Homo-oligomer: A and B are copies of this chain.
Amino acid sequence: MADPTPRIVDLSQHVGKTITVRGWVTHVRSSGKVAFAVIRDGTGIVQAVFVKTQLPPEVWERFKDLTLETSVHVTGEVRAEPRAPGSHELGVTGLTIIGPSPIDYPIQPKEHGIDFLLDNRHFWLRSNRVRAIFSIRNEIEQAIHDFFYARGFLRIDTPILTAAIGERSGLFSTEYFDEGNAYLAQTGQLYGEAAAAAFGSIYTFGPTFRAEKSKTRRHLTEFWMIEPEVAWNDSADNMRLQEDFVSYLVERCLERRAAELRELERDTAPLERVKPPFHRVNYTEAVEILQKRGSSITWGDDLGAEDEALLVSEYDRPVFVMNYPKEAKAFYMKENPEDPRTVLCDDCLAPEGYGEIIGGSQREDDYDRLLHRINEEGLPVDAYGWYLDLRKYGTFVHSGFGLGLERTVAWICGLPHIREVIAFPRMMHRLKP
């Protein structure tokens, strides 16, 4: 009996059987007596073979209506065929057209510009290449949850709508009933710290927002971030957690998404080297190294993208740049007792020039110092009352970090632009579809 609903990815289990595949036509060709249609169902592709002499004339005739993205039910016997796209063939015995597709289907087998592809993102998603990317993104997301679940972290969903946090730039705002404006969260960290005091080890996973007029290949206005926060971890513990975490994500993709990495023609050798310990270099050292190599950076500057690339080119795996100048970093980072010009923090730079994927720090746990920094930055103390409370009642050493999901996926996939690794990217000039 025909199994009515196998997925193409599972066809190897059905060799010799007659089944019905449901999907979309991605490619057709015909040699007069034999015709081929490649069918895609979202899990894989299979080649359907139509032999004129073996088919009822109406089925053979129907083949002519198979335009790009026509949706179909195709019945036939499954054969292993290593030379065929997808490594299996269907010897067709029946064909039903479910949804015709006009011949002006926007994405044709030719080169299209990036703006056109993004305008047609709802169709562009259907390509093999995009499927490989989202299969890897999915693997990474599941690996993130598995990593923290196994370690007893609680996932905390921190709010997107947040109250006044001062006149900081780059915020999207919306009217919130009679409460004034609400601002879309740029981070869940401050809430994560409150949760770490309650639950020990936590992480957040959610969208974050930046209303910045940035048009680089590494910025989106809406992107997803993972932010663990751990009570009693100092900065050194924090980096050990980061290297274990990043290594695990890479290892999962190498183990379970090898086919997709091949589809993307990703050289996996640099990924194989991503294992703890990562390299560690102090900011002050990094500046000296960069200056020797011709960078014009001076002590106190943040590292630019070019500096990052120059620095990592020395190393065979990710690099932590530690303990930046206070002025270059956020107010909540803990002063470095060994060099009070700096704070206890790290940026994790991916290899191969992919740049920063993590920013982490030990948090300032001293009430007076934190209050001083809030005032120094001109932030409204009132809005930070509850955050200061965490230092007033039973303060605690704690650290955490934020990993940018899209940057991490782009790096692992080997893609230069993060707009390709999120389903419907949001950028300064792009709000649709």
Q: Give the B-binding residues of A (Cβ under 8 A).
A: 5, 7, 9, 22, 24-25, 41-43, 69-71, 98-102, 105, 120-123, 125-126, 130-131, 134-135, 137-138, 141-142, 145, 149, 152, 154-163, 172-179, 182, 184, 191, 194-201, 206-207, 209, 211, 213, 221-222, 224, 231-232, 365, 386-387, 389-397, 422-424, 426, 428-429, 431-433
Contacts and interface: CB of A to CB of B under 8 A. Distances in A.
Of A5, A232, A395, which is in contact with the most chain B CB atoms at under 10 Å from its CB? A232
B177 A174 contact: no
Nearest to A222: B161
Contact of A176 (B158, B162, B198, B431): B431
Given A145-B142, A201-B42, A222-B159, A99 B395 contact: yes
Contacts of A145: 141-142, 145
Of A102, A159, A172, A195, which is in contact with the most chain B CB atoms at under 10 Å from its CB? A159
Contacts of A154: 134-135, 138
A396 to B, nearest CB: 5
A43 B152 contact: yes
Contacts of A22: 231-232, 396
A395 B120 CA distance: 16
Given A42-B199, A393-B105, A159 B5 contact: no
B161 A160 contact: no
A89 to B, nearest CB: 20
Given A41-B200, A154-B134, A428 B177 contact: yes
Of A43, A99, A390, A394, which is in contact with the most chain B CB atoms at under 10 Å from its CB? A394
Closest 7 CB pairs of A and B: A42-B200, A99-B395, A125-B198, A71-B394, A122-B194, A386-B433, A69-B394
A143 to B, nearest CB: 10
Given A138-B155, A142-B145, A162-B431, A174 B184 contact: yes
Contacts of A157: 207, 224, 422-423
Contact of A393 (B102, B135, B137, B389): B102
Contacts of A191: 423-424, 433
Given A134-B154, A198-B42, A432-B163, A98 B207 contact: no
Nearest to A223: B157
18 contacts: A5-B232, A7-B200, A42-B197, A42-B231, A43-B200, A69-B394, A71-B394, A99-B365, A99-B395, A101-B394, A102-B392, A137-B155, A157-B423, A158-B423, A160-B184, A161-B221, A173-B175, A177-B211
A367 B138 CA distance: 31
Contacts of A41: 200, 231
B141 A155 contact: yes
B393 A101 contact: yes
A237 B314 CA distance: 55
A169 B392 CA distance: 43
Given A99-B391, A122-B387, A159-B423, 13 more contacts: A43-B152, A100-B394, A102-B392, A105-B393, A122-B194, A122-B389, A123-B389, A145-B145, A157-B422, A159-B222, A172-B174, A178-B429, A179-B431
A213 B422 contact: no
Contacts of A7: 152, 200
Contacts of A195: 125, 423
Of A7, A160, A211, A389, which is in contact with the most chain B CB atoms at under 10 Å from its CB? A160
A175 B194 CA distance: 31
